[in-house]
Every structure is written in C-alpha cells, then in structure tokens.
Amino acid sequence: MSDTTRFTLDGQEVEAREGETIWAVAKRQGNRIPHLCHKDAPGYRPDGNCRACMVAIEGERVLAASCIRTPKDGMVVTTTGAREVAARKMVMEMLVADQPARDAAHDKSSHLWDMADAQGIETSRFPRLEEGRIPLLDDSHVAGRLIGDQHFDDHLAGAIGTVGLGLDHHTLGRGADARSGQHPLAVDLD
C-alpha cells in the first residue's frame, strides 16, 4: 500500500503525502490558496470554518475547504475556476464588511488584509456594522474572555489535552455577534 495519493490539481498530476491536505499540496506546488482559519506553522491545525480556501472537486456538488480535505486517488481538483474564485472572494467581502476601513485598521498588514489583497478585495458591497454599535460582552464565564481567537483556542486545547474541542467548545454566532458557547450536540460531563 502506497503512502502517497496521486490526483489532479489544476490540470497537473500531483502526489500528496499521507495525511496531507489539498491546501498543503497546492502550496508545495506553488499555488497559494487563500486561507484564514489556520496558520501554516507548527502547532496550528486547520478547521475549515472560514471557507476562504474553497476548491472545486469534480463530481461533487459543493465546494470543499482545501485546508481540511485530503485528496483521494484519481480526484480532480480545481482552484482557479470561476465558481471557486467567486466563492472565495465572497467570503473575503463578507469578512471585510465587518472591518474598519484599511487606513483606519489597527493592523494594516494583518493576514486578513494580505488575503484580501491577494484576491483584489478592497471594499465590500455588504452593509457595515451600524455606526456606534458595540456588541454585547459575553461574560457568562471568565474563560470566555480569552476565547474568540481560533489560534489561541487551538493552542489552549493542545495545552490542556482537550479531546474533541470542536464539540465541547464552539464559537456561536458570526462576526461581531460571535461568542463562545457549548456546541448544541455536546454532552455536559460536569
């Protein structure tokens, strides 16, 4: 049994190492697929929740998050087709809508803005958060004050050895309304 998988990526036959994602293979081939919910560094894991890295897989109706999808032998994947490019741009537009204008942003060189630049997104057609609206603070638990940064959450999970963090902890809501909470399918073991 081989420890590599052969598949087609943007018309080129490539090999994936065991456990390697489509996103990682594309990066190795010099194709930079946008990504936001993970950091390409040791100790971080992709979640596929931002949908910024979607690709098309022949024979599948919906686009797939390339950061969590491992290829199968013979799979045909495209990253540059109109559908997947438009979907990734839409994700960036929705995220940029909740951001201050870049010239007013506290971090003008953030990864979010790097990925927006890579896709030619400078503004959003979606409505901004109402001026002066301050999202309510979720102080239902003191640990919630630290939650909200997915990278922090992932490192915390690794540090305390939490298994299945995706089920016992979940980010509920979107954008400015995001808050930490228990996944609806989680079982409370306390």
- Predicted local confidence at residue 148, as pLDDT: 52
Grouped pLDDT means (10 residues each) for the chain, 190 residues = 89 96 96 87 84 96 95 97 94 87 81 89 82 67 54 52 46 64 52
Q: Which regions of the chain carry the CATH code 3.10.20.740?
A: 1-128
- Predicted local confidence at residue 107, as pLDDT: 83
- Predicted local confidence at residue 166, as pLDDT: 43
- Predicted local confidence at residue 98, as pLDDT: 81
- Predicted local confidence at residue 80, as pLDDT: 95
* Alpha carbons within 13 A on the beta-carbon side of 166: 5
- Predicted local confidence at residue 183, as pLDDT: 53
Q: What is the pTM of this model?
A: 0.67
- For domain 1-128, is the CATH number 3.10.20.740? yes
CA 97 – CA 120 distance, rounded (Å): 14
- The residues, ordered by sequence, that sit 6+ positions from 165 with a Cβ below 8 Å of its Cβ are 153, 154, 157
